Amino acid sequence: MKIKLREIKANKIKDKVKELFLRANYHIDQDLMLRLEEALREEASPIGKTVLKMIIENNKIASKEEVPICQDTGLAVVFVEVGQEVHLVGGDFTEAINQGVKEAYQEGYLRKSVVDDPVFERKNTKTNTPAIIYTDVVPGDKIKFTVMPKGFGSENMSALAILKPSDGPEEIVNFIVETVRKAGPNPCPPTIVGVGIGGTADKAMVIAKKAIARKIGEHNKNEKYAAIEKEALEKTNSLGIGPAGLGGKTTALAVNINYLPTHIAGIPVAINVCCHAARHAEGIL
């Protein structure tokens, strides 16, 4: 059988990744801007209102002037869905992605925040590489990229629990709310709380991170999981932490759950928190 492959040049991958990181770092998506404006209308705390106004104004300035929304332009996370009928030519896949990141960060006046050795030297690589790359092979002849410059003020508030099969929605909601409570003002609330349930410990965290990139207003398609999202969001916003942690009704803008099948013996639950500057961009080659 003859298989028809679609050739994609490595250079195109580099250019696409570069374009997406620049876009993500300068422009907040419209759905998130609308949600912030809605939060401003509903916020009861005067300080909270001031903070939300500053965030909205900041995002407008960043977009208009094409400067970074936040100085922490993040660790470069890239989710790639590669069509199995794609044939990459003219270079190396991982190298092309890293080159795209490097060019975006060096030419786009983005902060380089990667250190080579996490414990000892902690020497800045000056390119913001290597990127964190997750690749899935899917049917088709296209490559889809979702890039996420992930700030560490919020990443540092990540948490993992391995619940028991006897646990249920209540324990999951409690773990989510407790994680947000403990994080307090640190992750730059109002946050987007990504939750991964099932799989393995590591996979749960990956799908939690992916959940952050979901469009605001969309919920898990399984209504039982959507109900957990709704309850966790309500309880989170009852904590009183508020914008910047200075009190108010808006502690989280969304709780987004992804789930996967898991083992008979456990329920991994991973939480990946994202600040209000939830930056991501998607593109297809």
Partner 1 sequence: MTQAKKITTPLDDNKIMQLKAGDSILITGYIYTGRDAAHKRLIELIKKGQELPIDLKGQIIYYVGPAPAKPGYPCGSAGPTTSYRMDPYTPYLLDRGLKGMIGKGLRSQEVIESMKKNKAVYFGAVGGAAALIARSIKKSEIIAYEDLGAEAIHRYYVEDFPAIVIIDCQGNNLYETEPPKYRK
d(CA 69, CA 279): 9
Residue span binding partner 1 (CB under 8 A) among the ranges 12-20, 48-56, 87-95, 199-207:
48-56
Q: Smallest distance, Å, CB 122 to partner 1?
A: 7
For 167, counting Cβ atoms within 10 Å of its Cβ (0-12 exposed, 13-18 middle, 19+ buried), the class is middle
User: Please, which of residues 100-129 interact with partner 1 by CB under 8 A?
Assistant: 109-113, 122, 124, 126
219-248 residues near partner 1, rule: CB under 8 A: 238-242, 244-248
Tell me how far, at minimum, the Cβ of 177 lies from partner 1, in Å. 12
Sheet holding 159-163, edge to edge: 159-163, 267-274, 191-199, 252-262
Enumerate residues 148-187 that contact partner 1 by CB under 8 A.
Answer: 153, 156, 184-186
Least distance in Å: CB of 142 to partner 1?
33
The token duo for 88 is 């990459």
Choice between 46 and 165, CB closer to partner 1: 46
Backbone angles phi, psi at 28, to 5 degrees: -85, 140
Question: Among residues 160 and 246, whose Cβ is nearest to partner 1?
Answer: 246
What is the smallest separation between the CB atom of 251 and partner 1, expressed in angstroms?
9
Out of 32, 249, 258, 280, name the contact with partner 1 by CB under 8 A.
249
Nearest CA-CA partner of 210 in 274, 142, 140, 139: 274
**Rounded Cα gap, residues 88 and 181, in angstroms:** 46
Q: Which of 71, 87, 92, 263 binds partner 1 (CB under 8 A)?
A: 71
Place of tokens 């094409």: 66
Binding site for partner 1 (CB under 8 A): 44-48, 50-51, 54-55, 57-59, 61-62, 65, 67-73, 109-113, 122, 124, 126, 153, 156, 184-186, 188, 238-242, 244-249, 275-277
